[in-house]
Amino acid sequence: MSTHKHFASRIARRFTKLMGGEAGAGVLLIAVAVGAMAIANSPWQHEYHAIFHHRLAWSPIGRLDTLHACINDGLMAIFFFVVGLEIKREVLDGELSSAARRRLPVVAAAAGMAVPALIYLLAAGDAQPMQRGWAIPAATDIAFAVGTLALLGKRVPPALRLFLLTVAIVDDLGAVAIIALFYTSGIDLAWALGAMAVLALLVAANRGGVDRAWVFVLLGVALWYCVLHSGIHATIAGVLLAFTIPLRLARGDSMLLRLEHALVPWNSYLIVPLFGFANAGVALAGIGPGALFSPVPLGVALGLFVGKQAGIFGAIVMADRSGFASRPAGASWPQLWGMSTLCGIGFTMSLFIGALAFPQSPLLVEEAKLGVLLGSLFSALLGYAILRLAKAPPAQESPR
Q: For residue 154, is pLDDT > 50?
A: yes
Report the chain's terminal Cα–Cα distance, integer Å: 57
pLDDT attached to residue 135: 95
pLDDT tens for residues 55-68? 998 888 988 999 99
Q: For residue 26, is pLDDT > 90?
A: no
Best-predicted range by mean pLDDT among 117-131, 218-232, 274-288?
A: 218-232
Question: Residues 124-129: what's their mean pLDDT?
Answer: 82
Best-predicted range by mean pLDDT among 17-26, 278-287, 383-392?
A: 383-392
Distance in angstroms (rounded) separating the CA atoms of residues 13 and 256: 34
Q: How confident is the model at residue 12 (pLDDT cuts 50, 70, 90)?
A: very low
Q: For residue 10, is pLDDT > 90?
A: no
Q: What residue ranges define each of the domains in the chain, with the CATH number in brackets?
A: 24-170+268-389 (1.20.1530.10)
Which residues, other chains included, contact 147 with Cβ-Cβ below 8 Å and sequence gap of 6+? 22, 23, 24, 25, 26, 27, 29
Q: Are residues 220 and 202 in contact, defined by beta-carbon separation less than 8 angstroms?
A: yes
251: left (phi over 0), alpha (psi -120 to 50) or beta: left
Helix (H) or strand (E) holding 2: helix 2-18
Distance in angstroms (rounded) separating the CA atoms of residues 73 and 32: 20
Report field, pTM of the whole predicted structure over 0.95? no
Backbone φ and ψ for 262, nearest 5 degrees, come out as -75, -35
Distance in angstroms (rounded) separating the CA atoms of residues 101 and 286: 49
Q: How confident is the model at residue 21 (pLDDT cuts 50, 70, 90)?
A: low
